[in-house]
Amino acid sequence: MQPDQLAAALADLDCRAQRRRRAVLGSAQGSRVVLDGQSYLSFASNDYLGLANHPELIDAVRQAADSWGVGSGASPLVTGHSALHQEAEVALATFVSRPAALLFGSGYAANLAVIGSLTGRGDAVFADRLNHASLNDACLLSRATLQRFRHNDLNHLDDLLRQSRAKTRLIAVDAVYSMDGDEAPLAGLAALAERYDAWLYLDDAHGFGVLGDGRGSLVGLPASDRIVYMATLGKAAGVSGAFVAGSTALVDWLVNRARTYIFSTAHPPILAAALLASLRLIERESWRRDKLQAHIARLQGLGNDNGIKFIASRTPIQPLIIGSNELTLSMSNRLRQAGIWVPAIRPPTVPTGSARLRISLSAAHEAHEVTQLVEGIAAVLAQG
């Protein structure tokens, strides 16, 4: 696109109600936040356990800053891999019951690293059609042949794997889908990976900390070196970055071949300290997950009572599909006028015709706030 075409392209996004604009956050994350100078009851954050502003994480960062400073100063293979990073990686591997783990600056970087270092020309990647954009980009940039299977359709995936003659096969899925809140059929996927000698790559950005007693969607799956597990740390863990867990050989390979790891400055050590504090809270404070599940049940129950059809999900992601971009944006704006912040999610983030209000619940919310949300949505729907 040429420079003189940008204004027209942006105007076209406006016409399709697809132009995004950032709100400026003026407070710490919580059930109530300040955005663009106004206070709102927020259902927009992925801080599912309410840990992003927890005093124990803040204290861990303060103490670590005294010893380690702020920046890591170098890539991990030079002098950026600190004792705090090492401790955090060992703790993460132990937490998800895998031999080894590796920290990354983001889930996006982790996805690019794993798929790009395990597959290439002559290989094949099999990806769910509703995968996150970062997974799609990783598959395309790997230069492997990309084959997309219908959402959660094991039979379709089976057919594609059976026909493949690729040297290396890799199945890539979100364990929990970020826009619908539904879950991948992991047991079936693991069985197909075994049958067809394929890698199974799980992006558990929205399951880690919430599902499996906090240990994520991996819980219950058989131990297998062909399963590669990734989870982000800026959602339920309340910190930042991501990690990949798997066999010791896999992690050693990533250290040597993952470009987004090798050619990036290491994660700040103070965040590794915060992560260690977060893992302790996730493990010992199961009441946060219990409270979250109570909010999910309350939202679904009140929705049924008011004729509101939320997508069924046992995760904090509770979407209300509207369909029209314009109507979804209008509903989000009207909720905002009532002091409730719920984001309008439109294509290309979701398929055309499935624009929605994406509600994110948190253990930081109280029951009366969930009630307030449902009452606000009911009032907006009644307005048409």
CA-wise closest residue to 213 among 119, 127, 161, 288: 288
pLDDT digits (tens, 9 = 90+) for 255-272: 999 999 999 999 999 999
What's the CATH number for 55-284?
A: 3.40.640.10
pLDDT digits (tens, 9 = 90+) for 227-248: 999 999 999 999 999 999 999 9
The annotation status of 132 as a binding-site residue, yes or no, is yes
Using the predicted structure, report yes or no on whether residue 197 has a pLDDT greater than 80: yes
Domain boundaries, the chain: 22-53+286-383, 55-284
Average pLDDT rounded to a whole number, residues 46-58: 98
Average per-residue pLDDT in the chain? 96
Q: Is residue 206 annotated as part of the catalytic site, yes or no?
A: yes
- Write down the pTM of the prediction: 0.95
Per the listing, tokens 């290989």 go with 123
The annotation status of 108 as a binding-site residue, yes or no, is yes
Q: List Cβ neighbours of 346 (8 Å cut-off, separation of 6 or more).
A: 17, 18, 325, 328, 329, 355
Number of helices (H), then strands (E), in the chain: 13, 13
Q: Is residue 151 annotated as part of the catalytic site, yes or no?
A: no
Using the predicted structure, report yes or no on whether residue 17 has a pLDDT greater than 90: no
Q: Give the pLDDT confidence score for residue 138 in this predicted structure.
A: 96
Using the predicted structure, report yes or no on whether residue 298 has a pLDDT greater than 90: yes
Q: Give the pLDDT confidence score for residue 18 in this predicted structure.
A: 86
pLDDT digits (tens, 9 = 90+) for 147-191: 999 999 999 999 999 999 999 999 999 999 999 999 999 999 999
The annotation status of 220 as a binding-site residue, yes or no, is no
Instruction: Choose, from 82, 178, 264, 278, the residue flagged as catalytic.
Output: 178
* CATH homologous superfamily of 22-53+286-383: Aspartate Aminotransferase, domain 1 (3.90.1150.10)
Instruction: Choose, from 54, 81, 85, 235, the residue flagged as catalytic.
Output: 235
pLDDT digits (tens, 9 = 90+) for 335-364: 999 999 999 999 999 999 999 999 999 999
The annotation status of 107 as a binding-site residue, yes or no, is yes
Q: Is residue 235 annotated as part of the catalytic site, yes or no?
A: yes
Q: Give the pLDDT confidence score for residue 272 in this predicted structure.
A: 98
